[in-house]
Amino acid sequence: MGAGKFPSLLFIDTIKKGSATMTALDSVQDGSPAMNTGTGPTPKSVRPFRLFGWAILAIMAAYLLNNYLTYWQDLPGIAPIYGGAANGALPIVWSWFQLAVYVGFLAVAIVYVMRSQTPLRVDSARISSINTFIIRTAFFAVLIVGLVDSAISFLRIEELLPAVVGQGLADELGKSRFRGAYVHMPLIALSFVIAAFTRTLGFTWLALLVVVAELLIVIGRFILSYEQAFMADLVRFWYAALFLFASAYTLLEEGHVRVDVFYAGLKPKTRGYVNAVGSVFLGMALCATILAIGMGGKQNVINAPILSYETTQAGFGLYVKYLMAGFLGVFAVTMMIQFVSYFMDAVADVRGEPGGRDHDSHAAH
């Protein structure tokens, strides 16, 4: 019975290979896909599968947008259309507008599929490249926010912040809502810009930074007799991001644990059936469940901490607990996108299209 590598082992292997290692997702982003793709026009028979995949992504994007409109901008949501309770006091016409968001996003997906002749493997690689950008943005966000928030917390503890920014701003930076809205959010926006001009996913560097942060805690505690709450918060912040954000990449590399008692001996076509069905009924279903439970209401486990800019009880720790709740949403979104990509690649395997991945090499892990 074989099993794939755990994510942590995958990171260690990547670190050992050094800078010459190029991730599969980065290759897609650079224009040389990790998966060789079939060429030529796409038969109409694959359109239902392409339409299914893009429709899933369109619905998820509309759901996330409506979640923002409902709980951050106080729109009523679509529930009043079906007799449910409205979120705010705005008229029901806004509910119809939010329903139209779903229709509009679906229409875009349908038009794209019907007007394009993109092969399944090319679509799969394209979706992976979209996921690459999201994950890369998330990496830079946790890196920059973690460093900046640690610096602010350190200056507050040592009572140096008023001398640097003034007493008024120092007082405001002690409030989670101010720091989240006026420090964290601009830094996250900056991360989108940085991600657009870089190619690395940064997992190896993030793993190294976790080790460095742990080392600083040990040196501070046992040599300098200095330890603060924000130091442990930073390790948790980066460590959570390391595993949750890397899950989609690990799925692409088939690094997740697979109990392949039967899978290793299956033919490529049969493996395609297994991967396609598993992607839909296990992978996509799990991600949809996380998003529905975590973001289905104002008090749900993802929305509530973000809306309130929730922090830990340690007054001088990092003010990033609400972002860690958002990590679960990032995990669900990136995994959903990658499962759609995986589904299309699996259908291409079933159809016997050229350019498939060598699953045997991964099964041997």
Tokens 């989240």 sit on residue = 180
Average pLDDT over residues 163-174: 93
**Any residues with CB less than 8 A from the CB of 191 and at least 6 apart, and which?**
137, 138, 140, 141, 144
Contact 318, 153 (CB under 8 A): yes
Average pLDDT over residues 214-240: 90
| pLDDT(113) > 80 | yes
Contact 62, 102 (CB under 8 A): yes
pLDDT tens, residue by residue, 309-342: 998 876 678 999 999 999 999 999 999 999 999 9
pLDDT tens, residue by residue, 173-207: 999 999 999 999 999 999 999 999 988 777 788 88
pLDDT tens, residue by residue, 34-84: 444 444 445 678 899 999 999 999 999 999 999 999 999 999 999 999 888
Q: Tell me the backbone φ, ψ of residue 343, rounded to 5 degrees.
A: -60, -45
The identity of residue 164, as a single letter, is V
Q: Using CA atoms, how far apart are residues 171 and 131, in angstroms rounded to an integer? A: 39
Higher pLDDT, 238 or 20: 238
pLDDT tens, residue by residue, 261-296: 777 788 889 999 999 999 999 999 999 999 999 999
- Predicted confidence band of residue 87 (pLDDT cuts 50, 70, 90): confident
pLDDT at position 359, please?
Answer: 57
Q: Using CA atoms, how far apart are residues 62 and 99, in angstroms rounded to an integer? A: 9
pLDDT at position 358, please?
Answer: 62
Name the least confident of 146-160, 217-231, 243-257: 243-257
**Maximum Cα interatomic distance, the chain, rounded to a whole number of Å:** 69
Which alpha helices (DSSP H) does the chain contain, by range? 7-17, 24-30, 47-71, 93-115, 120-157, 161-165, 167-173, 176-179, 185-196, 203-222, 229-245, 247-252, 268-278, 285-295, 303-308, 321-350, 359-363
Q: Provide the mean pLDDT of the chain.
A: 84
Give the rounded percent of residues in the chain with a pLDDT score beyond 70: 84
The residues spanned by each domain of the chain are 25-35+42-363
pTM: 0.84
Q: Using CA atoms, how far apart are residues 199 and 208, in angstroms rounded to an integer? A: 18
Q: Is 119 helix (H, G, I), strand (E, B) or coil?
A: coil
Q: Using CA atoms, how far apart are residues 54 and 61, in angstroms rounded to an integer? A: 10
Q: Using CA atoms, how far apart are residues 333 and 316, in angstroms rounded to an integer? A: 31
